[in-house]
């Protein structure tokens, strides 16, 4: 923070506004006093507005930097696991060995769903989208834990965090099992977080599921790389919902609903749809030409990023993981995955893409990995939501832990002025 001021001229009036500096990143101008002068800022999409103060995640899109509590995402993906990253996001510091052990044990002890929730799943149509089911089930958790939702109680908030992180894989896997008509598979406390999710997805009661360590590691990395991404649409939705004092389960459900939009959480699903549209390696040159034609509506999905004007720091980790998974499963010659690998090579070498910094992003590689593992595209955003839950909760928890007010954005009104109702 500094004592610097910015001066805004509005007509013949000059307004002094405080300028603040964070630990890193651009300075911000405090415009809260503008309402006293009868004017507001106008910023559709809030792309130039800092809606909050946060110490959780920092992104430098120009230089391809993503930090969680100061730690680079690449280092966390290499040395940590998802539950340790959850602890870091929630608590602010990496756990000691004992704290890490206790946190892992606590999460394992909360993985079961209340048995009545089985009936809740059966209330949905079998062909319902898994995100629709997840949104409903997560919101319904508030009906099962209504006695421990005092948002002012730090201990109750911590218990809620444990429940959400622990139960989301069970909810996600059951969404899938219900959609294909297979019996629900219960969590196993002898498995890691990622292994447990895979066994609930692909295990069946008549056989013992043996997790593949390479696939489990890949899944854990996907969880880490999607755990948080600063003030995006869904995180901002969770914060805005929480600003009214709404219970945390309702707030997380609102984040799931926002993530469901194709402009947000559906990017890796769009990658697979694009690969299917291209259809064959022989068609790649034609589609590359379409992508370069500014008058053609076709766009290469999974290349470039709205935030990162350089290489997505998560993409390098995902690229390495993708090649490990394809090698393990022997899928190097899968037709769609061959198209993806060829597109990757073109994007990294073609002058058109290099000049515009249209590098493959995390969605490009995560879509390939999930497809190779046999996960249907309808589950991609569900897995994203499951991973992002800790980020949403950490931001919600940070907000309700301090002084906050209910969100109330203003508008530029362009409708009719006051008029009388016509006489009949």
Q: Are 87 and 94 in contact (CB under 8 A)?
A: yes
- Label residue 32 exposed, middle or buried (CB < 10 Å: 0-12, 13-18, 19+): exposed
Phi-psi region of 69 (alpha: psi -120 to 50; beta: other; left: phi over 0): left
Catalytic, 264? Answer: yes
| DSSP states along 22-54 | -SSS--EE--GGGGGGT-----GGGTT------
For residue 283, what is the DSSP state? G
Helices of type H across 303-334: 313-329
Q: Do the beta carbons of residue 99 and residue 86 sit within 8 Å? A: no
Please say whether the beta carbons of 185 and 157 come within 8 A: no
Out of 68, 226, 305, 395, pick the active-site residue. Answer: 305
**Strand order through the sheet with 28-29:** 5-10, 13-20, 28-29
A 10 A CB-CB count for 331 gives: 16
305 is catalytic: yes
Catalytic residue among 81, 220, 312, 363: 363
Q: Please identify which of the residues 110, 162, 264, 323 carries the catalytic annotation.
A: 264
Q: Report, as residue numbers or ranges, the catalytic residues.
A: 264, 305, 363
């Amino acid at each position: 923070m500094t004592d610097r001021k910015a001066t805004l001229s509005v007509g013949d009036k000059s307004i002094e506004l405080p300028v603040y500096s964070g630990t890193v990143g651009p300075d911000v101008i405090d415009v809260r006093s503008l309402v006293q002068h009868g004017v507001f800022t106008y910023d559709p999409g809030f792309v130039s507005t800092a809606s909050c103060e946060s110490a959780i995640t920092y992104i430098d899109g120009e230089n391809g930097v993503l930090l969680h509590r100061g730690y680079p995402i690449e280092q966390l993906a290499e040395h940590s696991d998802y539950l340790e990253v959850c602890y870091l996001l929630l608590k602010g510091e990496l756990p000691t060995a004992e704290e890490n052990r206790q946190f892992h044990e606590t999460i394992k002890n909360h993985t079961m769903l209340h048995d009545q929730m089985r009936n809740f799943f059966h209330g949905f149509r079998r062909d319902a989208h898994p995100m629709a089911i997840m949104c409903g089930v997560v919101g319904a958790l508030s009906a099962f834990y209504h006695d421990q939702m005092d948002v002012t109680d730090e201990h109750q908030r911590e218990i809620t965090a444990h429940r959400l992180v622990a139960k989301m894989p069970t909810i996600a896997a059951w969404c899938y099992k219900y959609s294909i008509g297979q019996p629900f598979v219960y969590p196993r406390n002898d498995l890691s977080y990622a292994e447990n999710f895979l066994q609930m997805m692909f295990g069946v009661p008549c056989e013992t599921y043996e997790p593949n360590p390479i696939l489990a590691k890949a899944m854990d990395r996907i969880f880490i790389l999607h755990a948080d991404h600063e003030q995006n649409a869904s995180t901002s939705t969770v914060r805005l919902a929480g600003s009214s004092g709404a219970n945390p389960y309702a707030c997380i459900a609102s984040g799931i609903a926002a993530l469901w939009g194709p402009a947000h959480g559906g990017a890796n699903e769009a990658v697979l749809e694009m690969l299917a549209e291209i259809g064959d390696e022989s068609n790649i040159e034609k589609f590359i030409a379409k992508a370069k034609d500014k008058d053609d509506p076709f766009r290469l999905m999974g290349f470039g990023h709205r935030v990162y004007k350089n290489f997505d720091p998560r993409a390098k980790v995902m690229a390495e993981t993708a090649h490990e998974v394809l090698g393990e499963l022997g899928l190097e010659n899968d037709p769609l995955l061959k198209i993806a690998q060829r597109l990757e090579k073109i994007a990294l070498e073609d002058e058109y893409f290099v000049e515009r910094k249209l590098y493959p992003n995390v969605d490009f590689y995560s879509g390939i990995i999930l497809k190779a593992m046999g996960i249907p595209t309808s589950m991609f955003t569900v897995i994203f939501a499951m991973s992002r839950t800790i980020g949403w909760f950490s931001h919600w928890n940070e907000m309700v832990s301090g002084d906050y007010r209910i969100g109330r954005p203003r508008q530029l009104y362009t409708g009719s002025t006051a008029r009388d109702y016509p006489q009949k």
